[in-house]
Amino acid sequence: MKRRDFFRNAAFTAAGAAVLSPFESIAGGRHSAVAHSADKRAKNIIFMVSDGMSIGTLSMANMLSERRDGKLSTWMSLYHAGTVQRGLMDTASANSLVTDSSAASSAWGGGVRVNNGVLNVAPDGSKPTPILQKFKAAGKAVGCVTTVPITHATPAGFCVNNDSRSAQAEIALTYHDLRFDVMMGGGTEFFSADKRDDKVDVFGKFATSGFQVAKTRDELLAIDAGGKDAPILGVFHQDGLPYALDREHDETLKKETPSLAEMVGTAIRHLKKNRNGFVLQVEGGKVDWAAHANDVGALLYDQLAFEEALATAIAFAEADGDTLVIVTTDHGNANPGLFGGTKNFERIIDFKHTNDWVLQGIDRDFTARQVIERIEHAQGIVIKADEAIRLLSHYVTDRNEDGLYNPYKLPFAEFAEIQQRYTAVSWASTGHSGDHVEIAAYGAGQGLLKPFVRNTDMHYLMLEVTGVSKG
Protein backbone atom coordinates (compact mmCIF):
# COMPACT_ATOMS: atom_id res chain seq x y z
CA MET A 1 0.00 0.00 0.00
CA LYS A 2 1.28 3.46 -0.85
CA ARG A 3 2.05 5.75 2.09
CA ARG A 4 -0.53 8.24 0.80
CA ASP A 5 -3.25 5.58 0.75
CA PHE A 6 -2.30 4.31 4.20
CA PHE A 7 -2.59 7.77 5.71
CA ARG A 8 -5.96 8.49 4.05
CA ASN A 9 -7.52 5.17 5.01
CA ALA A 10 -6.21 5.06 8.56
CA ALA A 11 -7.32 8.51 9.64
CA PHE A 12 -11.03 7.75 9.44
CA THR A 13 -11.24 4.31 11.01
CA ALA A 14 -12.69 3.80 14.46
CA ALA A 15 -9.32 2.57 15.57
CA GLY A 16 -7.56 5.38 13.76
CA ALA A 17 -5.37 6.42 16.64
CA ALA A 18 -4.13 2.90 17.22
CA VAL A 19 -3.38 2.43 13.51
CA LEU A 20 -1.75 5.80 13.07
CA SER A 21 0.31 5.73 16.22
CA PRO A 22 3.97 4.98 15.51
CA PHE A 23 4.43 3.47 18.95
CA GLU A 24 3.24 0.47 20.89
CA SER A 25 2.18 0.13 24.50
CA ILE A 26 4.66 -1.05 27.10
CA ALA A 27 2.86 -4.37 27.10
CA GLY A 28 3.06 -4.53 23.31
CA GLY A 29 6.81 -4.30 22.87
CA ARG A 30 9.33 -1.83 21.51
CA HIS A 31 8.60 1.77 20.68
CA SER A 32 9.69 3.46 17.49
CA ALA A 33 12.96 5.34 17.94
CA VAL A 34 13.79 8.00 15.37
CA ALA A 35 16.80 10.30 15.60
CA HIS A 36 16.21 13.94 14.63
CA SER A 37 18.95 16.46 13.97
CA ALA A 38 18.86 19.46 16.28
CA ASP A 39 19.78 21.85 13.48
CA LYS A 40 17.57 20.38 10.74
CA ARG A 41 15.10 22.83 9.29
CA ALA A 42 11.42 21.96 9.19
CA LYS A 43 9.28 22.39 6.10
CA ASN A 44 6.09 21.96 8.12
CA ILE A 45 4.99 22.70 11.70
CA ILE A 46 2.02 21.22 13.55
CA PHE A 47 1.55 23.17 16.79
CA MET A 48 -0.76 21.26 19.13
CA VAL A 49 -2.41 22.81 22.19
CA SER A 50 -4.45 20.96 24.79
CA ASP A 51 -5.97 24.12 26.19
CA GLY A 52 -6.04 24.41 29.98
CA MET A 53 -4.25 21.10 30.57
CA SER A 54 -2.85 20.88 34.08
CA ILE A 55 -0.35 18.10 34.74
CA GLY A 56 -3.06 16.17 36.57
CA THR A 57 -5.12 16.09 33.38
CA LEU A 58 -2.22 14.63 31.41
CA SER A 59 -1.49 12.11 34.17
CA MET A 60 -5.06 10.92 34.69
CA ALA A 61 -5.73 10.64 30.95
CA ASN A 62 -2.76 8.29 30.76
CA MET A 63 -4.05 6.31 33.75
CA LEU A 64 -7.44 6.01 32.07
CA SER A 65 -5.83 4.87 28.82
CA GLU A 66 -3.78 2.23 30.62
CA ARG A 67 -6.77 0.85 32.49
CA ARG A 68 -9.31 1.12 29.68
CA ASP A 69 -7.15 0.28 26.66
CA GLY A 70 -4.13 -1.44 28.15
CA LYS A 71 -1.66 1.05 26.69
CA LEU A 72 -0.01 4.38 27.36
CA SER A 73 -1.63 7.52 26.04
CA THR A 74 -0.03 9.00 22.92
CA TRP A 75 1.72 11.78 24.84
CA MET A 76 3.15 9.39 27.42
CA SER A 77 4.18 7.01 24.63
CA LEU A 78 6.32 9.78 23.20
CA TYR A 79 7.97 10.32 26.57
CA HIS A 80 8.47 6.60 27.12
CA ALA A 81 10.03 6.16 23.69
CA GLY A 82 12.48 8.98 24.37
CA THR A 83 12.00 10.39 20.87
CA VAL A 84 11.00 13.92 21.88
CA GLN A 85 12.71 16.99 23.23
CA ARG A 86 10.91 17.89 26.46
CA GLY A 87 10.74 21.07 28.50
CA LEU A 88 8.77 23.31 30.82
CA MET A 89 7.20 26.59 29.77
CA ASP A 90 6.51 29.80 31.70
CA THR A 91 2.99 30.87 30.70
CA ALA A 92 2.65 34.36 32.22
CA SER A 93 1.05 37.25 30.34
CA ALA A 94 2.12 40.91 30.35
CA ASN A 95 -0.13 41.83 33.26
CA SER A 96 -0.55 38.59 35.20
CA LEU A 97 1.27 35.49 36.34
CA VAL A 98 -1.97 33.69 35.46
CA THR A 99 -2.61 34.06 31.76
CA ASP A 100 -5.78 33.68 29.77
CA SER A 101 -5.89 31.91 26.43
CA SER A 102 -5.78 35.04 24.27
CA ALA A 103 -2.61 36.34 25.91
CA ALA A 104 -1.04 32.89 25.87
CA SER A 105 -1.72 32.32 22.18
CA SER A 106 -0.61 35.86 21.38
CA ALA A 107 2.73 35.14 23.06
CA TRP A 108 3.23 32.26 20.64
CA GLY A 109 1.56 34.05 17.76
CA GLY A 110 3.14 37.49 18.05
CA GLY A 111 6.28 36.88 20.07
CA VAL A 112 5.28 39.57 22.58
CA ARG A 113 3.53 39.25 25.92
CA VAL A 114 0.20 41.06 25.92
CA ASN A 115 -2.40 41.74 28.59
CA ASN A 116 -5.09 39.19 29.28
CA GLY A 117 -8.12 39.59 27.06
CA VAL A 118 -6.46 40.97 23.94
CA LEU A 119 -5.08 39.43 20.75
CA ASN A 120 -1.64 40.53 19.57
CA VAL A 121 -1.93 44.10 20.85
CA ALA A 122 1.04 44.90 23.08
CA PRO A 123 0.76 47.06 26.22
CA ASP A 124 2.39 49.94 24.29
CA GLY A 125 -0.29 49.69 21.59
CA SER A 126 1.92 48.12 18.94
CA LYS A 127 0.51 45.24 16.92
CA PRO A 128 3.00 42.49 16.09
CA THR A 129 2.27 40.56 12.92
CA PRO A 130 0.64 37.22 13.88
CA ILE A 131 2.69 34.19 12.98
CA LEU A 132 0.31 32.60 10.49
CA GLN A 133 0.29 35.85 8.54
CA LYS A 134 4.11 35.66 8.46
CA PHE A 135 4.08 32.08 7.25
CA LYS A 136 1.40 32.81 4.65
CA ALA A 137 3.47 35.70 3.32
CA ALA A 138 6.45 33.33 3.12
CA GLY A 139 4.48 31.06 0.80
CA LYS A 140 3.36 28.37 3.21
CA ALA A 141 -0.16 27.01 3.57
CA VAL A 142 -1.60 27.79 7.01
CA GLY A 143 -4.60 26.96 9.14
CA CYS A 144 -6.21 26.21 12.48
CA VAL A 145 -8.35 23.34 13.78
CA THR A 146 -10.14 23.42 17.14
CA THR A 147 -13.00 21.91 19.13
CA VAL A 148 -14.25 25.34 20.26
CA PRO A 149 -15.35 28.22 18.01
CA ILE A 150 -12.73 28.80 15.34
CA THR A 151 -12.95 32.48 16.28
CA HIS A 152 -11.99 31.69 19.88
CA ALA A 153 -8.88 32.94 21.66
CA THR A 154 -6.33 30.25 20.87
CA PRO A 155 -6.75 30.03 17.09
CA ALA A 156 -7.26 33.80 16.88
CA GLY A 157 -3.94 34.38 18.66
CA PHE A 158 -2.09 32.86 15.70
CA CYS A 159 -4.12 34.84 13.16
CA VAL A 160 -5.31 38.34 14.08
CA ASN A 161 -4.76 41.59 15.98
CA ASN A 162 -7.75 42.70 18.04
CA ASP A 163 -8.31 44.72 21.19
CA SER A 164 -10.73 42.10 22.53
CA ARG A 165 -10.90 38.32 22.35
CA SER A 166 -14.67 38.72 22.66
CA ALA A 167 -14.96 40.31 19.20
CA GLN A 168 -15.62 36.94 17.61
CA ALA A 169 -18.10 38.23 15.02
CA GLU A 170 -15.45 40.68 13.82
CA ILE A 171 -12.76 37.98 13.89
CA ALA A 172 -14.87 35.81 11.58
CA LEU A 173 -14.84 38.61 9.00
CA THR A 174 -11.10 39.08 9.46
CA TYR A 175 -10.60 35.39 8.70
CA HIS A 176 -12.45 35.87 5.42
CA ASP A 177 -10.06 38.65 4.42
CA LEU A 178 -6.98 36.66 5.45
CA ARG A 179 -7.94 33.71 3.20
CA PHE A 180 -6.07 31.11 5.21
CA ASP A 181 -6.10 27.61 3.75
CA VAL A 182 -7.92 25.64 6.47
CA MET A 183 -10.08 26.90 9.34
CA MET A 184 -12.17 24.33 11.21
CA GLY A 185 -14.04 24.22 14.51
CA GLY A 186 -17.30 25.44 16.00
CA GLY A 187 -18.92 28.86 16.10
CA THR A 188 -21.84 28.88 13.65
CA GLU A 189 -23.26 31.84 15.56
CA PHE A 190 -20.45 34.03 14.20
CA PHE A 191 -20.87 32.95 10.56
CA SER A 192 -24.62 32.55 10.08
CA ALA A 193 -26.65 35.63 9.09
CA ASP A 194 -29.58 34.68 11.31
CA LYS A 195 -27.29 34.45 14.37
CA ARG A 196 -25.19 37.58 13.87
CA ASP A 197 -26.33 40.98 15.14
CA ASP A 198 -25.36 42.62 11.84
CA LYS A 199 -27.12 39.87 9.79
CA VAL A 200 -24.07 39.47 7.55
CA ASP A 201 -23.95 36.06 5.86
CA VAL A 202 -20.33 35.22 6.57
CA PHE A 203 -20.79 31.66 5.32
CA GLY A 204 -21.97 33.16 2.04
CA LYS A 205 -18.98 35.49 1.86
CA PHE A 206 -16.59 32.56 2.24
CA ALA A 207 -18.43 30.49 -0.37
CA THR A 208 -18.53 33.37 -2.85
CA SER A 209 -14.80 33.85 -2.34
CA GLY A 210 -14.11 30.29 -3.43
CA PHE A 211 -13.92 28.46 -0.11
CA GLN A 212 -15.17 24.92 0.28
CA VAL A 213 -17.63 25.23 3.18
CA ALA A 214 -18.55 22.28 5.42
CA LYS A 215 -21.18 22.38 8.15
CA THR A 216 -21.44 18.63 8.83
CA ARG A 217 -19.08 15.68 9.10
CA ASP A 218 -20.39 14.22 5.84
CA GLU A 219 -19.71 17.49 4.03
CA LEU A 220 -16.16 17.50 5.40
CA LEU A 221 -15.58 13.91 4.30
CA ALA A 222 -16.84 14.80 0.83
CA ILE A 223 -14.44 17.75 0.62
CA ASP A 224 -11.60 15.52 1.81
CA ALA A 225 -12.41 12.87 -0.79
CA GLY A 226 -12.74 15.49 -3.53
CA GLY A 227 -9.18 16.67 -3.08
CA LYS A 228 -9.74 20.16 -4.48
CA ASP A 229 -7.14 22.84 -3.82
CA ALA A 230 -9.62 25.55 -2.75
CA PRO A 231 -9.37 26.65 0.90
CA ILE A 232 -11.61 24.98 3.48
CA LEU A 233 -13.92 26.50 6.10
CA GLY A 234 -15.51 23.95 8.42
CA VAL A 235 -17.90 25.11 11.14
CA PHE A 236 -19.79 22.26 12.78
CA HIS A 237 -21.69 23.55 15.80
CA GLN A 238 -23.22 26.78 17.07
CA ASP A 239 -20.70 27.03 19.90
CA GLY A 240 -18.01 24.52 20.84
CA LEU A 241 -18.17 21.02 19.39
CA PRO A 242 -19.75 18.31 21.59
CA TYR A 243 -17.56 16.75 24.24
CA ALA A 244 -15.86 13.59 22.98
CA LEU A 245 -17.56 11.42 25.62
CA ASP A 246 -21.05 12.62 24.70
CA ARG A 247 -20.29 12.31 20.98
CA GLU A 248 -19.10 8.73 21.41
CA HIS A 249 -22.44 7.68 22.90
CA ASP A 250 -24.74 9.66 20.61
CA GLU A 251 -25.07 8.44 17.01
CA THR A 252 -26.56 11.76 15.87
CA LEU A 253 -23.60 13.72 17.21
CA LYS A 254 -21.16 11.25 15.63
CA LYS A 255 -22.84 11.68 12.26
CA GLU A 256 -23.08 15.47 12.44
CA THR A 257 -19.70 16.42 13.90
CA PRO A 258 -16.21 15.20 13.03
CA SER A 259 -13.74 14.20 15.70
CA LEU A 260 -10.65 16.31 16.25
CA ALA A 261 -8.51 13.55 14.72
CA GLU A 262 -10.69 13.53 11.60
CA MET A 263 -10.41 17.29 11.21
CA VAL A 264 -6.64 17.13 11.66
CA GLY A 265 -6.33 14.34 9.09
CA THR A 266 -8.27 16.38 6.54
CA ALA A 267 -6.26 19.51 7.32
CA ILE A 268 -2.91 17.78 6.90
CA ARG A 269 -3.90 16.14 3.62
CA HIS A 270 -5.06 19.49 2.29
CA LEU A 271 -2.17 21.61 3.52
CA LYS A 272 0.62 19.23 2.50
CA LYS A 273 -0.13 19.87 -1.18
CA ASN A 274 1.74 23.17 -0.86
CA ARG A 275 5.28 22.67 -2.14
CA ASN A 276 6.58 25.29 0.33
CA GLY A 277 5.16 23.44 3.32
CA PHE A 278 2.54 24.33 5.89
CA VAL A 279 1.92 25.46 9.47
CA LEU A 280 -1.13 24.15 11.34
CA GLN A 281 -2.35 24.99 14.82
CA VAL A 282 -4.48 22.30 16.50
CA GLU A 283 -6.40 22.99 19.71
CA GLY A 284 -8.22 20.66 22.05
CA GLY A 285 -10.16 23.64 23.32
CA LYS A 286 -12.82 21.86 25.31
CA VAL A 287 -10.25 20.39 27.67
CA ASP A 288 -10.17 23.92 29.10
CA TRP A 289 -13.97 24.21 29.20
CA ALA A 290 -14.20 20.89 31.04
CA ALA A 291 -11.61 22.01 33.58
CA HIS A 292 -13.54 25.22 34.25
CA ALA A 293 -16.60 23.04 34.89
CA ASN A 294 -14.70 20.51 37.03
CA ASP A 295 -16.22 17.90 34.69
CA VAL A 296 -13.96 14.86 35.00
CA GLY A 297 -15.52 12.75 32.25
CA ALA A 298 -15.49 15.63 29.79
CA LEU A 299 -11.92 16.50 30.76
CA LEU A 300 -10.28 13.10 30.43
CA TYR A 301 -12.10 11.90 27.33
CA ASP A 302 -11.47 15.17 25.51
CA GLN A 303 -7.80 14.89 26.49
CA LEU A 304 -7.71 11.40 24.99
CA ALA A 305 -9.47 12.68 21.86
CA PHE A 306 -6.77 15.35 21.61
CA GLU A 307 -4.14 12.64 21.90
CA GLU A 308 -5.77 10.70 19.05
CA ALA A 309 -5.23 13.83 16.97
CA LEU A 310 -1.66 14.00 18.27
CA ALA A 311 -1.13 10.43 17.03
CA THR A 312 -2.29 11.52 13.58
CA ALA A 313 0.20 14.40 13.58
CA ILE A 314 3.08 12.25 14.84
CA ALA A 315 2.41 9.57 12.22
CA PHE A 316 2.56 12.17 9.48
CA ALA A 317 5.74 13.73 10.89
CA GLU A 318 7.45 10.37 11.19
CA ALA A 319 6.61 9.41 7.60
CA ASP A 320 7.35 12.86 6.19
CA GLY A 321 10.69 13.59 7.86
CA ASP A 322 10.45 17.35 7.33
CA THR A 323 7.79 18.15 9.92
CA LEU A 324 8.12 19.47 13.48
CA VAL A 325 5.30 18.67 15.91
CA ILE A 326 5.12 20.81 19.04
CA VAL A 327 2.69 19.70 21.75
CA THR A 328 1.89 21.74 24.84
CA THR A 329 -0.79 23.66 26.70
CA ASP A 330 -1.31 27.38 27.16
CA HIS A 331 -1.84 27.24 30.93
CA GLY A 332 -3.06 24.99 33.70
CA ASN A 333 -6.69 24.99 34.77
CA ALA A 334 -8.34 23.82 38.00
CA ASN A 335 -5.37 21.56 38.86
CA PRO A 336 -7.31 18.29 39.12
CA GLY A 337 -5.73 15.26 40.74
CA LEU A 338 -6.38 11.72 41.90
CA PHE A 339 -6.64 11.52 45.68
CA GLY A 340 -7.89 8.05 46.43
CA GLY A 341 -8.00 4.45 45.36
CA THR A 342 -7.87 2.86 41.94
CA LYS A 343 -11.34 1.33 42.20
CA ASN A 344 -13.10 4.68 42.41
CA PHE A 345 -11.07 6.15 39.56
CA GLU A 346 -11.87 3.17 37.33
CA ARG A 347 -15.55 4.09 37.49
CA ILE A 348 -14.74 6.74 34.89
CA ILE A 349 -14.14 3.93 32.37
CA ASP A 350 -17.88 3.24 32.38
CA PHE A 351 -18.99 6.86 31.95
CA LYS A 352 -21.33 7.39 28.98
CA HIS A 353 -21.93 11.10 29.41
CA THR A 354 -20.38 14.22 30.88
CA ASN A 355 -21.55 16.25 33.86
CA ASP A 356 -22.57 18.84 31.29
CA TRP A 357 -24.97 16.33 29.68
CA VAL A 358 -26.34 15.33 33.09
CA LEU A 359 -26.96 18.85 34.36
CA GLN A 360 -28.36 20.20 31.08
CA GLY A 361 -31.10 17.55 31.27
CA ILE A 362 -32.32 18.35 34.79
CA ASP A 363 -35.06 20.89 35.43
CA ARG A 364 -36.83 22.27 38.48
CA ASP A 365 -39.63 19.69 38.21
CA PHE A 366 -37.28 16.74 38.72
CA THR A 367 -37.53 14.64 41.87
CA ALA A 368 -34.48 13.50 43.78
CA ARG A 369 -35.10 9.98 42.46
CA GLN A 370 -35.04 11.22 38.87
CA VAL A 371 -31.74 13.00 39.47
CA ILE A 372 -30.25 9.83 40.96
CA GLU A 373 -31.45 7.75 38.00
CA ARG A 374 -30.13 10.22 35.42
CA ILE A 375 -26.66 10.20 36.98
CA GLU A 376 -26.67 6.41 37.28
CA HIS A 377 -27.62 6.07 33.60
CA ALA A 378 -24.92 8.51 32.49
CA GLN A 379 -22.07 7.51 34.78
CA GLY A 380 -22.92 4.34 36.68
CA ILE A 381 -22.76 6.22 39.98
CA VAL A 382 -25.59 6.06 42.51
CA ILE A 383 -25.51 9.22 44.59
CA LYS A 384 -27.39 9.65 47.86
CA ALA A 385 -30.79 11.30 48.16
CA ASP A 386 -29.42 14.24 50.13
CA GLU A 387 -26.80 14.80 47.41
CA ALA A 388 -29.51 14.81 44.74
CA ILE A 389 -31.45 17.36 46.78
CA ARG A 390 -28.34 19.55 46.97
CA LEU A 391 -28.17 19.56 43.17
CA LEU A 392 -31.89 20.22 42.79
CA SER A 393 -31.68 23.23 45.07
CA HIS A 394 -29.81 25.05 42.30
CA TYR A 395 -32.75 24.58 39.97
CA VAL A 396 -35.62 25.49 42.28
CA THR A 397 -34.04 28.72 43.52
CA ASP A 398 -32.29 31.50 41.63
CA ARG A 399 -29.26 29.96 40.01
CA ASN A 400 -26.16 31.54 41.44
CA GLU A 401 -23.20 29.47 40.31
CA ASP A 402 -20.88 31.45 38.08
CA GLY A 403 -17.82 30.42 36.10
CA LEU A 404 -16.65 30.60 32.50
CA TYR A 405 -18.66 28.77 29.83
CA ASN A 406 -21.62 28.36 32.19
CA PRO A 407 -24.32 30.61 30.68
CA TYR A 408 -27.13 28.68 32.35
CA LYS A 409 -25.45 28.83 35.78
CA LEU A 410 -25.57 25.08 36.23
CA PRO A 411 -24.19 23.58 39.47
CA PHE A 412 -20.95 22.21 38.03
CA ALA A 413 -18.82 22.84 41.12
CA GLU A 414 -21.50 21.38 43.39
CA PHE A 415 -21.74 18.23 41.28
CA ALA A 416 -17.95 17.88 41.14
CA GLU A 417 -17.77 18.10 44.92
CA ILE A 418 -20.35 15.33 45.23
CA GLN A 419 -18.62 13.28 42.55
CA GLN A 420 -15.30 13.27 44.41
CA ARG A 421 -16.63 10.58 46.74
CA TYR A 422 -17.20 8.27 43.79
CA THR A 423 -14.23 8.98 41.46
CA ALA A 424 -11.49 10.07 43.91
CA VAL A 425 -10.78 13.08 41.67
CA SER A 426 -10.54 16.49 43.35
CA TRP A 427 -10.07 20.02 42.04
CA ALA A 428 -8.21 23.08 43.29
CA SER A 429 -10.52 25.65 41.68
CA THR A 430 -12.58 26.40 38.58
CA GLY A 431 -10.02 28.79 37.12
CA HIS A 432 -6.66 29.00 35.41
CA SER A 433 -3.41 28.45 37.30
CA GLY A 434 0.02 30.00 36.90
CA ASP A 435 1.90 26.70 36.78
CA HIS A 436 4.76 26.07 34.41
CA VAL A 437 3.50 23.55 31.86
CA GLU A 438 4.69 20.64 29.74
CA ILE A 439 6.01 21.22 26.22
CA ALA A 440 7.57 18.70 23.85
CA ALA A 441 8.86 18.71 20.29
CA TYR A 442 9.09 15.82 17.83
CA GLY A 443 10.65 15.77 14.38
CA ALA A 444 12.73 18.09 12.27
CA GLY A 445 14.58 20.64 14.40
CA GLN A 446 13.25 19.34 17.71
CA GLY A 447 16.60 19.99 19.37
CA LEU A 448 15.95 23.73 19.27
CA LEU A 449 13.56 23.34 22.21
CA LYS A 450 15.35 24.17 25.47
CA PRO A 451 14.52 22.57 28.83
CA PHE A 452 12.91 25.79 30.06
CA VAL A 453 11.28 28.44 27.85
CA ARG A 454 9.02 31.46 28.03
CA ASN A 455 5.88 31.25 25.94
CA THR A 456 7.18 34.00 23.64
CA ASP A 457 10.25 31.90 22.82
CA MET A 458 8.10 29.54 20.77
CA HIS A 459 7.29 32.26 18.25
CA TYR A 460 10.95 32.68 17.41
CA LEU A 461 11.67 28.94 17.52
CA MET A 462 9.03 28.36 14.82
CA LEU A 463 10.49 31.08 12.63
CA GLU A 464 14.03 29.82 13.15
CA VAL A 465 13.28 26.18 12.44
CA THR A 466 11.57 27.07 9.16
CA GLY A 467 14.04 29.76 8.11
CA VAL A 468 11.30 32.39 7.87
CA SER A 469 12.13 36.04 8.57
CA LYS A 470 11.31 37.45 12.00
CA GLY A 471 10.10 40.70 10.44
| Burial of 244 from C-beta contacts in 10 A (0-12 / 13-18 / 19+) | buried
**CA separation for the pair 416, 426 (Å, rounded):** 8
432 is in an annotated binding site: yes
**How far from 43 is each of 280, 299, 402, CA to CA, in Å?**
12, 33, 45
350 is in an annotated binding site: no
**Encoded amino acid at 178, one letter:** L
3-state secondary structure the chain: CCHHHHHHHHHCCCCHHHHHCCCCCCCCCCCCCCCCCCCCCCCEEEEEEECCCCHHHHHHHHHHHHHHHCCCCHHHHHHHHCCCEEEEEECCCCCCCCCCHHHHHHHHHHCCCCCCCCECCCCCCCCCCCHHHHHHHCCCEEEEEEEEECCCHHHHHCCCCECCCCCHHHHHHHHHHHCCCEEEEECHHHCCCCCCCCCCCHHHHHHHCCCEEECCHHHHHHHHHHCCCCCEEEECCCCCCCCHHHHHCCHHHHHHCCCHHHHHHHHHHHHCCCCCCEEEEEEECHHHHHHHCCCHHHHHHHHHHHHHHHHHHHHHHHHHCCEEEEEECCCEECCCEECCCHHHHHHHHHCCCCHHHHHHCCCCCCCHHHHHHHHHHHHCCCCCHHHHHHHHHHHHCCCCCCCCCCCCCCCHHHHHHHHHHHHCEECCCCCEECCCEEEEEEECCHHHCCCEEECCHHHHHHHHHHCCCCC
Residue of 25, 73, 77, 101 with catalytic role? 101
Catalytic annotation present for 101:
yes
283 is in an annotated binding site: yes
218 is in an annotated binding site: no
152 is in an annotated binding site: yes
Residues 6+ apart with CB under 8 A from 137: none
459 is in an annotated binding site: no
Q: Nearest to residue 101, comparing CAs of 55, 166, 57?
A: 166
295 is in an annotated binding site: no
Active site residues: 101
Binding residues for Mg(2+): 51, 152, 154, 283
Binding residues for Zn(2+): 51, 288, 292, 330-331, 432
